[in-house]
């Protein structure tokens, strides 16, 4: 028996979890055997992110069967470029939990609440200045929603110890570090996807939460879920992250995305007592 739609919350990361850039597809084998792809994001009038055609169909069913909540470190503006197959999600968690979108509009009350919670961490300006003092491997430096900072770096020129040194420096100030592709994120420890997911759970009265993600910034979300899945690639895979209620895909790249959305749909249908 399927769990009613209103009872199941599915919080899933986007980039390299559900959607994939051309560089992240990680396809192997002959081109003639490659899966058909659907573009789900356009940036500067060019295609940017994809899902497989099979995953697209599964996402339509997942959006119909559950309360599907994209849960991303992207800013609201970056998130709104993504058009997942299926009914548009009513809720979206962006800016790593710092911004909650309801029907595509930022919820002001949640933004105020988040600002109050982050006063325990060092100010963004201090962390931004520390990142700005990096070496020639730093290509661009950005802030997101005045909540956190990230740097675009040349990975081939990145000193081996720099990330660890930055992580130690940030930890002393109540911040954490995550490396995703060419981006190095510095995020306040109080800025968590799981906190925003708990707020959506409260608003929707859902009783079961499923989650998916690939990076260190997804750790708290995966641990907070009743059941979770991660792809066999990314930061969490590199660190060997596991938990009793966590599944790992057999595939990597875009085929892992196809596999994990199928798992989310099957797990939602299996009910809250499924192993």
Q: Is 240 helix (H, G, I), strand (E, B) or coil?
A: coil
| pLDDT tens-digit series, residues 83-119 | 999 999 999 999 999 999 999 999 999 999 999 999 9
- The arithmetic mean of pLDDT across residues 6-22, rounded, is 95
- The arithmetic mean of pLDDT across residues 116-134, rounded, is 94
Residue by residue, DSSP assigns 246-268 as: EEE-SS-THHHHHHHHHHHHHHH
Give the pLDDT band (50/70/90) at residue 271: confident
pLDDT at position 5, please?
A: 54
Q: Is 47 helix (H, G, I), strand (E, B) or coil?
A: strand
pLDDT at position 181, please?
A: 83
Give 211's strand partners. 11, 228
Structural domain boundaries in the chain: 5-115+192-270, 122-188
pLDDT at position 2, please?
A: 47
- The arithmetic mean of pLDDT across residues 63-88, rounded, is 97
pLDDT at position 135, please?
A: 85
Query: Which overall architecture, per CATH, does domain 122-188 show?
Result: Alpha-Beta Complex (3.90)
Mean pLDDT of the chain: 94
- Provide the pairing of β-strand 46-52 with 91-94: unpaired
pLDDT at position 1, please?
A: 36
pLDDT at position 34, please?
A: 97
Q: Which residue has the tokens 């559950």?
A: 66
Give the chain's count of helices (H) and strands (E).
9, 15
| pLDDT tens-digit series, residues 32-60 | 999 999 999 999 999 999 999 999 999 99
This prediction has a pTM of 0.93
As a CATH number, domain 5-115+192-270 is 3.40.50.1000
- The arithmetic mean of pLDDT across residues 239-268, rounded, is 98
């Amino acid at each position: 028996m399927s769990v009613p739609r209103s009872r199941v919350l599915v919080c899933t990361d986007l980039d390299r979890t559900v959607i994939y850039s051309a560089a992240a597809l990680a396809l192997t084998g002959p081109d003639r055997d490659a899966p058909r792809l659907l573009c789900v994001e356009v940036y500067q009038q060019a295609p940017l992110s994809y899902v497989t055609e099979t995953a697209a169909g599964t996402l339509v069913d997942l959006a119909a069967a559950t309360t599907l909540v994209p849960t991303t470190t992207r800013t609201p503006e970056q998130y709104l470029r993504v058009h997942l197959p299926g009914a548009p999600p009513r809720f979206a968690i962006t800016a790593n939990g710092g911004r909650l979108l309801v029907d595509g509009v930022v919820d002001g009350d949640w933004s105020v609440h988040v600002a109050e919670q982050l006063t325990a961490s060092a100010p963004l300006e201090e962390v931004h200045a520390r990142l700005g003092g990096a070496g020639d491997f730093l290509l661009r430096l950005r802030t997101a929603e005045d909540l956190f900072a990230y740097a675009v770096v040349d990975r081939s020129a990145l000193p081996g110890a720099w990330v660890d040194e930055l992580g130690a420096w940030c930890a002393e100030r109540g911040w954490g570090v995550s490396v995703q592709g060419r981006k190095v994120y510095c995020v306040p420890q109080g800025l968590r996807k799981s906190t925003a997911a708990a707020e959506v759970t409260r608003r929707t009265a859902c009783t079961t939460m499923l989650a998916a993600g690939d990076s260190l910034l997804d750790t708290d979300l995966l641990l907070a879920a009743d059941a979770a899945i991660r792809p066999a690639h990314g930061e969490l895979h590199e660190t060997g992250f596991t938990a009793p209620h966590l599944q790992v895909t057999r595939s990597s790249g875009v085929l892992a995305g196809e596999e994990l959305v199928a798992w989310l749909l099957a797990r939602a249908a299996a009910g809250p007592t499924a192993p």
